[in-house]
Structures are given as C-alpha cells and as structure tokens.
Amino acid sequence: MFEWLRSLRKKVGKLVLPDREERSARNKNKINLKPYTPEPKAYLGQLAYLLLSNFEILTNELKYAPTTQYKAELSEAAAKSFEKYRTVSKKLSGLGVDVTDSMDPFTERIDTFHSRTSGVDWYEAIIKVYLVSGLLDDFYKRLAVGLNSELRDSVEKALSDKTFEKFAQKVITEGKAMNPELDSRLALWGRRLMGDVLLEVRAAFDNRKLAGIDKSASLSAEQERKVNLESYSKIEPLISEMIAAHSLRMDSIGLAA
C-alpha cells in the first residue's frame, strides 16, 4: 500500500546534495591553461570566425536600431569590433596559412551556437553580444597563454577594445529606464546565455587531453564518464572565474546574475 511512498523516497533520495566530503573535493587551484592552448592556427582560426560572426550579428541589428543615433553608434561599435577580426586574420596570414581555411573547421559549431542563442528582440540581441563576447573574449585571452609572446600580445591588445561594451551598457540602461519590465526577462536571458557559453567553452577543450588520457586509448562508457568528470573538475577554477566576471558584467547593467 505504501509502495508509492517508498518509490517516491527513492526518487527524492537521488536529488540529495553530495555529502560534504565530496563537495570539499572541488578543485579550487588556479588552472594553468598553457598545455591546453590549441595550435596557433586552430586558436586563431576559431577566434577569427567568432569575431567575424560577431560582426555579422552586430550589424544585423542595425535595421532594428530605434533611433538614427543608436544606428550610428552601433555601426561605429561594429566597425571597431571588426578591427579585432582584422588583427587576428593578419596574424593568420602572417603564419602563412589561408584565413578562410583556418576558419572553416569551426564555422558550423559557431553558427550553431549563435543560432541557438539569438535573441528575440533588439535588447536580447544587444545583451547577447555584450555577455557572450565578454565571456569569450575573456576565455580566449586566458587561453592565449600558450601562444608565443608576440601573438599573445597582439591578441590581448585586439580583444581589449571596449567600444561595444560601453554602447551595450548604455542601450540596456536606457532601455530598462523606459521599460522596467525588461529587467526580469533580460536577467533570465543573461543566465541562459552564460550556460550556453560554458557548454561552448567545454566543447573547445579536448577532455582526454585535460584528463591526461591518451587519445587512442579505447575506454568503456564508465571510463569515458570518469574522464569527462576529471576534465570538468580540471577546468572548474576557470569556469568559476568566468562566472564571476559574467556576474560583474550583469551587475554593471543592473541585472541580477
């Protein structure tokens, strides 16, 4: 008769938090990303396509700009952010590789990411670029640690332009002042975006490499799962820092992270 209660208890049991032992085992050490930086061609190729697609997404919003002023400012911010792409693509050419060839292996993954995270209106679109390029610029700057110092300096310098960031902060702040109901919708949207970016960041890593397992080894499903857990644990400090930076970005536009 109380069978249903017992079965319910079992289910509830599954949702209990891990015990303190397990939680305190979380990795809090600073991660050294150096061994995980991809080869320069792959690093610059995916960064280049991220920046190129960023330009496409930004400029696609021009037609929705509510005023000529916004249209002009967004154009300026887009043109400035295109200069990031220019820097990266020049570095690729400097390595003697074709820019398009270097981007092509990543276009599908990145296009899919973007189509999964396209906002439904002007505000969601602006905040998307603000948060996503904030997170990804941050990530790629950290990952640049494994490049030679000349490449690293160029990339860090290119990624540090803040024209769009300032524009986005202005748009969102002004928008929220006019439509207070934007607040909760945009806060939700911001959280959702962070989740998607973290998945994208995880996808950029090779789990076996992170876990120190030979890529030709054949693993059982159980071993594979352990490798994944091991590797996620390894990048946990990075994820945690990225989330903290994201929260600051949300704060600066008055949204609860």
Report the interface residues with a copy of itself, using CB under 8 A: 49, 52, 55-56, 59-60, 62-63, 67-69, 71-72, 75-76, 78-79, 82-83, 85-86, 89, 99-100, 103-104, 107
Report which of 143, 166, 120 is spatially closest to residue 238, judged by C-alpha positions: 143
Cβ closest to a copy of itself, residue 71 vs residue 192? 71
Shortest distance, CB of residue 255 to a copy of itself, whole angstroms? 28
Residues 210, 238 contacting (CB under 8 angstroms): no
Residues 119, 57 contacting (CB under 8 angstroms): no
Shortest distance, CB of residue 48 to a copy of itself, whole angstroms? 8
Buried b (16+ CB within 10 A) or exposed e, 152-167: bebbbebbeeeebbeb
Cβ closest to a copy of itself, residue 81 vs residue 231? 81
Residue 64, number of CB atoms within 10 A of its CB: 14
Cβ closest to a copy of itself, residue 82 vs residue 232? 82
Shortest distance, CB of residue 32 to a copy of itself, whole angstroms? 33
Shortest distance, CB of residue 194 to a copy of itself, whole angstroms? 25
Cβ closest to a copy of itself, residue 64 vs residue 232? 64
21 vs 163: CA distance, rounded Å: 46
Report which of 51, 70, 52, 50 is spatially closest to residue 61, judged by C-alpha positions: 70
Question: If you write DSSP's letter for every residue of 163-197 in order, what string do you get?
Answer: HHHHHHHHHHHHHHHH-TTHHHHHHHHHHHHHHHH
Which two tokens mark 114?
């973007």
Cβ closest to a copy of itself, residue 72 vs residue 203? 72
Shortest distance, CB of residue 71 to a copy of itself, whole angstroms? 6
Cβ closest to a copy of itself, residue 61 vs residue 138? 61
- Cα→Cα distances 66→46, 56, 57, 190, 191, Å: 32, 19, 17, 22, 25
Shortest distance, CB of residue 104 to a copy of itself, whole angstroms? 6
